[in-house]
Structure 1
Amino acid sequence: MTNNTTPRPVDANSLFVVSGGARGITANCVVGMARRFRCGFILLGRSAAGEPPAFVAECPDEPALMQRIAKELAARGEKATPAVIRRELGTIQAQREIAHTLAEIRAAGGRAEYLSVDIADAAALRSALTDAQTRLGPITGLFHGAGVLADRRIEQKRAADFDAVFTPKIIGLRNLLACLAPADLHHLILFSSAAGFYGNPGQSDYAMANEILNRVAHLIQRDAPACHTVALNWGPWDAGMVTPALKALFAERGIQVIPLDAGVARLVDELEFRAERPPQVLVGSPLAPPPEPYSGPLRTWRIRRRLTQEDNPFLQDHMIGIHAVLPATCGMAWMIHGCEQLLPGYHFARAENYQVLKGIVFDESLAPEYVLTIRETERDATAGTLTLEATVSSEGEKRPRYHYRARLILRHGRRAAAPQIEQMDLRERQPTPGAELYAKGTLFHGPRFRGVEHVLSSDANGLTMRCQMPEVSDRDQGQFPVRSFDPYLADVQFQSLVIWAWQHHGAASLPLSNAVGELYATPQPGATFYVTMKVRSNSDYRMLADLIAHDADGRIYLRLEGAEVAISQHLNRLFNPAAA
């Protein structure tokens, strides 16, 4: 089959191939999926299936089971050495787990079959899956949960350790994808690890293998967007490979283990497909504490970037006239995220005196490259803050051209709790649909920036809007991805100024500056939020206002104080050429 549409929801007709799916945590997950979706599974594992021998029936206690195995070996005239007993015990326990998992899936309303096959054996795997599809029908999903640990510090690692870890994770996935092309699937779930995201002592090979899974997820989402692909970067579970000793070690490091039921519920939630889910999700506590505040000399960085319209698909929806224009909020995001990436452990808290000095237009004036300069100016150890001056510039004919400038304050540790808006009125008073404003050219923005649902009320003192968070895919965000600061949310806030200027001056406007910006939280894509705008001053050419994005209870997401726009009748034809 070929899947050219958006991913289908998981339902009773779905059939998943699951590597490592008959035992351990993965088995618990497929049982949870069966309870929720009543779907089907082809479980893959190296253990041989079969009924446990009669002599171990009704013997759950491991020491008693080992005694029975020893007696059975002696009765057969074989040496009951500890190694032989352990091998027999492992086989019997595997058979029991497989049988239990199959029974649990069927009791939950799903259907399941177990195939004993090594996913590292490409030929055997292809033969097994070809036969299974002939009998069971088309496979719609792949759940890659196989994995092995071989923990040692890197100087003690052996080639055999590396092979043991990489073979099921990476060679196994390569062979599975050779049999099941992502373009033919609706769902691809990769069980990765937070060790791949953070690193972890003794797990260099395991971290590398899981980071490869993460990169594969990003690649497949790009190349096969109709397949819902995600790499779940799990922290340690309260089960499986986490022994009591490891659990105690995690507790000492402040790392919480994931309860089994909570982890299964998180997986099921991921499969309740909603559009534009990220291809990589981190679940659980960080495996490492945030870096300590830096205490060395003040530093300066210069970071170069080449901009193209092709690399930033969102620009198609930010055209003024015939040219794409970089949103002013993307200039802010550029500086904020540059600082946060350079300063691990710090997060953006406040911006002061943000200026749009010369906007970036994607025409013949576009520079070959742009330079983000970040300079530390002050460090407050007591408050845990850093103050930085940030500019974006390019080379002009005789001197640098400056495009954006701001003073940024970053804070170490947790983000401050969101305050409540002091005055809020969400009543509808002659509301105006946002769709009407976009259609008539009051707002020039295309679909990715169309966050205004309704202007609820508007008067000489300001306006209030109900909005919906724009859902811009990771691919469309290009070089300006959403991180702590969401430029698409901030752009919707600024649209309140554009609307008010049209209503009271009959003219278009563009942002010039913002005196203060404070970030507390960011709503999820698709979430409803509100913008309350209060006018400070205005003339025929300038307008100054305060903007607050908040939720229905008044909890503030982003506060912008002293936001200024230039108002000009000459911009009207660029916003709405048809009306010129």
Structure 2
Amino acid sequence: MTVERSLEALAGDPIIGDHVIGDAAVLPAAVALGWAIGAAERTTGEEVGRVRDFTVQKGIVFDGTEPARISLTLTPSGDTLGAAIRSTGADGGPRPHYGAVVETGAAADAPAVAGLPAAGTGRDAGFLYADGTLFHGPSLRGVRRILAEAESRLVLEASLAEHRPDGGAYGGSRYAPGTADLLLQAGLVWVKLFRGTSGLPLSVGRADLHHPLPDGEPFLIVVEPTAAGNGTSSSLTITACAPDGRVLTRFDNVSVVSAPQLAAKFATRNGTSG
């Protein structure tokens, strides 16, 4: 099944307007992932509990060259659905943008995360949006506090009023794109604090959707390295949980690619020099 959507309505949404790198808005990876989840739920009538092998192949940049329409093709394969988001290139051929494998059915609860610091402790994280660590505009600024700050385990407190672009088309019963974007933001914070560089998330090995993230209420995000990395990329496990440690959403094997050339663009977005 193929679903086609116009980008016109999405282009005017705050989730795009507040996701600007340098001079151009960029479609958040969390929005593309949410479209695959939402389309699979509407097609099958079942909840999505897991997504595997999500990749950014060619991000969509709203700089005047973006496609007018994008398509999402769902292809059944056993108990999964392959999802391919594409547009049509100038030569009339398909242009791949994002890919994923979607699994329906509830995800079993994961063991609670132990040893978490209390919400409201640590230090204010507002500086992350001012010093070029994060480039996100006001409606996406949901990282509130740094509660624990070790390379082996970074713990952040977050809260964000949820985005529902296009009437919820880019989300599912256990997934909404704005709060999910905070997990990817947390990965960028880890890379800046412990690798000293800017970066972009390019893939998620597995996303387990246990419970919806809270809309406008505090939750915690735990970032832990899963591999040593190769100098240009970092592999992270990023877990969103309730203050009592109950796991809500977990992204495993998140690949964040170092991109030092983006530092100036991140800083420019937030009005700082750099």
TM superposition score normalised by structure 1: 0.44
SS in 1 for 2:146: strand
Alignment deviations for residues 108-130 of structure 1 (CA, whole Å, 9 cap, x no partner): xxxxxxxxxxxxxxxxxxxxxxx
**Are 2:90 and 1:400 aligned?**
no
The one-letter code of the counterpart of 1:418 is: D
The alignment's C-alpha RMSD in Å is 2.2
> In terms of mean alpha carbon deviation, does 503-512 or 348-357 score higher?
503-512
Structure 2 counterpart of 1:543: 234
Pairwise mapping of residues 9-24 of structure 1 onto structure 2 (< 5 A)? none
- Describe the SS at the equivalent of 2:130: helix
- For residues 559 and 387 of structure 1, the distance between their equivalents in structure 2, rounded to whole angstroms, comes to 19
Deviation of 1:419 (Å): 2.5
Q: 1:434 aligns with which of 125, 147, 151?
A: 125
Contact persistence 1:312–1:477 (CA under 8 A): no
Work out the CA distance in 1 between the residues paired with 2:33 and 2:102.
10
Higher gyration radius (CA): 1
Tell me the distance in 2 between the aligned counterparts of 1:496 and 1:486: 16
SS of residue matched to 2:41? helix
Identify the range of structure 1 (567-576 vs 312-321) with the bigger mean alpha-carbon deviation. Answer: 312-321
Kept in 1: contact 2:48–2:172 (CA 8 A)? no
Gaps of 5+ in 1: 1-300, 379-385
Cα separation, partners in 2 of 1:453 and 1:477, compared to 1, 3 Å: farther
| Cα pair 2:222 2:238 within 8 Å, conserved | yes
Contact 1:442 1:499 (C-alpha < 8 Å) held by counterparts: yes
Say which of 513, 522, 527 aligns to 2:212.
522
More strand by share: 2
Q: Which runs of 5+ in 2 are unaligned?
A: none
Q: Aligned in 2, Cα 1:561/1:455: closer, same or farther, shift over 3 Å? A: same
Q: Do 1:303 and 1:373's aligned partners in 2 also have CA atoms closer than 8 Å?
A: yes
Q: Helix, strand or coil for the counterpart of 1:498?
A: helix
Q: Secondary structure at the match of 2:258?
A: strand
Q: Which residue in the other structure is 2:59 paired with?
A: 359
In structure 2, give the amino acid aligned to 1:542. Answer: S
- Any idea what SS the aligned residue of 1:457 has? strand
Shift in CA distance, 403/424, structure 1 to aligned 2, threshold 3 Å:
farther
Aligned length in residues: 268
CA separation in 1, counterparts of 2:195 and 2:163?
A: 35
Q: Match for 1:440: what amino acid? A: D
Contact kept? 1:424, 1:532, Cα under 8 Å: no
User: SS at 1:579's partner residue?
Assistant: coil
Q: Which amino acid aligns with 1:304?
A: E
Cα deviations by residue, 1:38-91 (Å, 9 ceiling, x for unpaired): xxxxxxxxxxxxxxxxxxxxxxxxxxxxxxxxxxxxxxxxxxxxxxxxxxxxxx
**CA pair 433-416 structure 1, distance change in 2 beyond 3 A:** same
Percentage identity across aligned positions?
A: 28
Q: 1:477 to 1:508 in 2, by over 3 A?
A: farther
CA distance in 1, matches of 2:25, 2:244: 36
Corresponding letter in the other structure for 2:196: G
Match for residue 340 of structure 1 among 41, 45, 49:
41
Give SS of 1:576's match.
helix
Structure 2 length-normalised TM: 0.90
* d(CA) in 1 for partners of 2:134, 2:112: 26
Residue in structure 2 matching 1:532, options 201, 222, 229: 222
- 1:540 CA drift (Å): 3.3
Asked if the contact 2:50–2:107 (Cα under 8 Å) also holds between the matched residues in 1, the reply is no
Q: For residue 552 of structure 1, what is the aligned residue in structure 2? A: 243
Higher relative contact order structure (alpha carbons within 8 Å, sequence separation ≥ 6): 2
* Cα distance between partner residues in 2 of 1:354 and 1:476: 22
In 1: Cα distance, 2:187 partner to 2:173 partner: 25
Separation in 2, partners of 1:374, 1:475: 21
Q: Which residue of 2 aligns with 1:506?
A: 196
Give the partner amino acid of 2:70. Y
Indicate conservation of the 8 Å contact 1:427/1:457, yes or no.
no
1:307 counterpart = 2:1: no
Cα distance in 2 between the residues matched to 1:477 and 1:440: 33
Deviation at 1:525, TM superposition (A): 1.3
Give, in whole Å, the separation in 1 of the partners of 2:237 and 2:60.
25
Q: Closer, same or farther in 2 for the Cα pair 1:473/1:392, shift >3 Å?
A: closer
Aligned-partner residue type, residue 409 of structure 1? E
